[in-house]
Amino acid sequence: MTSLPETTETRLGLVIDLDICVGCHACVTACKGWNTENYGAPLADKNAYGADPVGSFLNRVHSYEVTPDDGPAQLVHFPKSCLHCTDAPCVTVCPTGASYKRVEDGIVLVNEADCIGCGLCAWACPYGAREMDPVEKVMKKCTLCVDRIYNDNLPEEDRVPACVRTCPTGARAFGDLGDPESAVSKSVAARGGFDLMPEQGTAPVNKYLPPRPRDEAIDVLGPLLDPVAEEPTGFLKWLDTTLEKLG
């Protein structure tokens, strides 16, 4: 069970476009909502209205500031969830077989009935993709909405992960990254999609698309604010020179 499959039939995953994401956290909310009402133990919050609220989330959005050598700093919003790694270190450390990677589509899942809540898989994950539920005391992680993507009871457009379905800017795409002809694979090839922490040797399925370089002249209103007259004239000139004299 906790050995990794040699190959998987498909490699389902997400492609996240850091150029488009505006950091609205709608994917976080949609994920929390769907995964609290459906598959597995609900994603709990503790002390939600108190001084020190904590809760389990399967997707979180960081924000980073990138400052080029010449030019203004750029803010990059950075959603992060399970990358469904090909060589998932979280799976092989599991002592009970609760963690596994599916042969049919490569999704990494937790069988919550077998999870003893030891937390070792969360330690093994370099990305912080796994969180212990504070109430159920079992390990929670992104399921790639396995209960949506194959769900015939849903309209076809809803058979994608909740985060992808809800993203208002289209910064998240879902598909088979094992198929070079899929839309997600093509966008990765075209945009130079990359892995997070490649040196950790996890071979993530999810890819990130880099922010595009900013245009040179993005400041369209700035030129309109230039002083109309460099040197004052009339009363202002008199005021200027008088004030200069006062020192």
Partner 1 sequence: MHPAPSIILFTTLSGLGFGLMAFLTLGFPPVTGWIAFIFYGLAYALAGVGLILSTFHLGHPERALKAFTQWRSSWLSREAWGAVGTLVLVGLCAVPAVFADFRVYTLGLPAAALALWTVYATSMIYTQIKSVPRWHHSSTPILFLAHAIAGGALLAGQISLAAPLLLVLGLIQIWAWQSGDRRLAQSGTTLVTATGLGSGGDVRAFEPPHTGSNYLLTEMVHVVGRRHAMKLRIFGFGFMVLLPWLILVALPFHHALAALAILSHCAGALICRWLFFAEAEHVVGLYYGERGAGK
Binding site for partner 1 (CB under 8 A): 1-3, 18, 25, 28, 52-57, 60-69, 73-76, 78, 80, 89, 92-98, 114-120, 122-128, 131-132, 134, 136-138, 194-201, 208, 210-211, 213
CB 19 to partner 1: min, Å: 11
Min dist CB 82 to partner 1, Å, is: 13
Nearer Cβ to partner 1 (1/183): 1
Tokens of 62: 């960081």
Q: 208: part of which helix (H) or strand (E)?
A: strand 207-209
Closer residue to partner 1 in complex, CB, 26/154: 26
The minimum distance between CB 58 and partner 1, in angstroms, equals: 12
**φ, ψ (nearest 5 deg) of residue 59:** -150, 130
**How many angstroms separate the Cα of 178 from the Cα of each of 49, 109, 126, 205, 235?**
44, 19, 23, 8, 74
Q: How far is the CB of 51 from partner 1 (least distance, A)?
A: 9
Q: Which is nearer to partner 1, 69 or 156 (CB)?
A: 69
Q: Is 48 exposed, middle or buried (0-12, 13-18, 19+ CB in 10 A)?
A: exposed
Least Å distance between CB 145 and partner 1? Answer: 20
The SS3 call for residue 184 is: helix
Taking the C-alpha atoms of residue 177 and residue 173, their distance in angstroms, rounded to an integer, is 11
Phi then psi for residue 158, to 5 deg, are -90, -5
Q: How far is the CB of 118 from partner 1 (least distance, A)?
A: 6
Looking at the Cβ atoms of 28 and 107, the one nearer to partner 1 is 28
> DSSP for 8-55?
-S--EEEEEETTT-----HHHHHHHHHHHHSSSS---EESTTSSS-EE
Nearer to partner 1, 69 or 152 (CB): 69
Q: Which is nearer to partner 1, 118 or 154 (CB)?
A: 118
